[in-house]
């Protein structure tokens, strides 16, 4: 497994990480915990050193899973987790809360569930408009000074927020959605990250599964799968967006690879400080994804992909309205 540095932070991780959310949360019923412990440990055996979770995934269940699975590999892997949500009066984890006292309380819980003495990379899950980002960065800075956190990250943060946070506590990585079907970060985010020496961790690098080529407009999602309410996964949108997958398949066939591998290789080719975190609950998909690290796309391949992207109009928003409102601009 090749490695990459997340910007200038000094944090070195495997070129592909493993997004673990879907093992416990978001895509219908949680997968069997014993099976997922085995899968995570297989990922370590195959060279993955970067694992992504959050307290809200479950909530808590995903952190507990990683804590159990990765306990034998302390100091050999990098675990990233996130704070920033809190339960409302009905117990739904839908409220933003990045007040410093809440951050510190969240970190204590994450440390116990992850079975570690220090969190390798701590992200603010979503920017909280009620709390100045300087206060958030200051609270994390204190946690770093106390040895409870090693590196600070942001998720779905805009340029102004990134700059303000970075001025208080250097930001090691930004985690936001980025893939062949969501390229918005290229316009303003990438130049800022490059200037400041911040790494980038794309989540949903396979378009929440759509870019794998394994679904079409007739695909049914399980109850509780959040894609049921995502506009980009409506039947009409999927039917229209299959044009992108068909083109990916043509390129994949030329390389004797798969659409997933092309999509991940494309991401890795964009910047040397990009580390995607595709998720899966299946060993053969993990193996397929990891093989993309060794797939080299030529300049001609990349030009072809960009021409395809310019010709295809993708349909549907990537989040429902309520979630869109939580995205920092």
**String of b and e for 24-35 (b: at least 16 CB within 10 Å)?**
bbbbeebbeeee
pLDDT of the residue at 91: 86
Query: Is position 256 within any domain?
Result: yes
First to last CA, the chain: 35
List, as own/partner pairs, every contact residues 32-40 make where C-beta atoms lie below 8 angstroms and the sequence separation is at least 24, other chains included.
33/65, 33/68, 35/281, 36/65, 36/69, 36/281, 37/65, 37/68, 37/69, 39/280, 39/281, 39/282, 39/283, 39/286, 40/65, 40/66, 40/69, 40/70
CATH code of the domain covering residue 206: 3.20.20.100
Give CA–CA dist 227/238, Å, rounded.
Answer: 11
Q: What is the pLDDT of residues 296-315, one digit of tens each?
A: 999 999 999 999 999 999 99
Query: Is position 93 within any domain?
Result: yes
Given a cut of 80, whether residue 182 has pLDDT beyond it is: yes
Query: Is position 88 within any domain?
Result: yes
57 part of the active site: yes
Q: What is the pLDDT of residues 116-165, one digit of tens each?
A: 999 999 999 999 999 999 999 999 999 999 999 999 999 999 999 999 99
**Residue 297 sits in which domain range?**
3-324
Report pTM. Answer: 0.98
Please identify which residue in the block is written with the tokens 């978001």: 26
Which of 135, 67, 58 lies closest to 98, judged by CA?
A: 135
Query: Is position 40 within any domain?
Result: yes
Give CA–CA dist 166/289, Å, rounded.
Answer: 32
pLDDT of the residue at 296: 95
pLDDT of the residue at 261: 98
Query: Is position 123 within any domain?
Result: yes
Q: What is the pLDDT of residues 8-59, one digit of tens each?
A: 999 999 999 999 999 999 999 999 999 999 999 999 999 999 999 999 999 9
Whether the CB-CB separation of 117 and 146 falls below 8 Å is answered with no
Query: Is position 329 within any domain?
Result: no
Give CA–CA dist 40/51, Å, rounded.
Answer: 9
What is the count of structural domains for the chain?
1
Report residue 306: phi and psi, to 5°: -65, -35
Instruction: Select which of 27, 57, 151, 178 is catalytic.
Output: 57
């Amino acid at each position: 497994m090749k490695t990459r540095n997340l910007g200038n932070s000094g944090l070195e991780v495997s070129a592909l990480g493993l997004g673990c959310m879907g093992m416990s949360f978001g895509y219908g019923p949680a997968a069997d915990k014993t099976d997922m412990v085995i899968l995570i440990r297989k990922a370590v055996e195959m060279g993955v050193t970067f694992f992504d979770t959050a307290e809200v995934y479950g909530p808590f269940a995903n952190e507990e899973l990683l804590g159990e699975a990765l306990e034998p590999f302390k100091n050999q892997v990098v675990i990233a987790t996130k704070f920033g949500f809190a339960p409302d009066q009905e117990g739904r984890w839908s409220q933003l809360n990045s007040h410093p006292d809440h951050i510190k309380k969240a970190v204590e819980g994450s440390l116990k569930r992850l079975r570690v003495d220090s969190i390798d990379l701590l992200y603010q899950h979503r920017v909280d408009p009620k709390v100045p980002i300087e206060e958030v960065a200051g609270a994390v800075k204190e946690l770093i000074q106390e040895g409870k956190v090693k590196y600070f990250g942001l998720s779905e943060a805009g340029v102004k927020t990134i700059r303000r946070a970075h001025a208080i506590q250097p930001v090691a990585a930004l985690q936001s959605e980025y893939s062949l079907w969501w390229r918005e970060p290229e316009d303003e985010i990438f130049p800022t990250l490059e200037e400041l020496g911040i790494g980038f961790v794309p989540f949903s690098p396979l378009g929440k599964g759509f870019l794998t080529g394994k679904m079409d407009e007739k695909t049914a999602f399980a109850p509780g799968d959040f894609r049921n309410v995502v506009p980009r996964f409506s039947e009409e949108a999927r039917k229209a967006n299959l044009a992108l997958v068909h083109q990916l398949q043509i390129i994949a066939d030329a390389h004797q690879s798969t659409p997933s591998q092309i999509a991940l290789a494309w991401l890795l080719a964009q910047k040397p400080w990009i580390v995607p975190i595709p998720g899966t609950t299946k060993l053969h998909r993990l193996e397929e994804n990891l093989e993309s690290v060794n797939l080299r796309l030529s300049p001609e391949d990349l030009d072809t992909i960009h021409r395809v992207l310019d010709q295809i109009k993708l349909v549907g928003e990537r989040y429902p309205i309520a979630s869109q409102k939580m995205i920092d601009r």
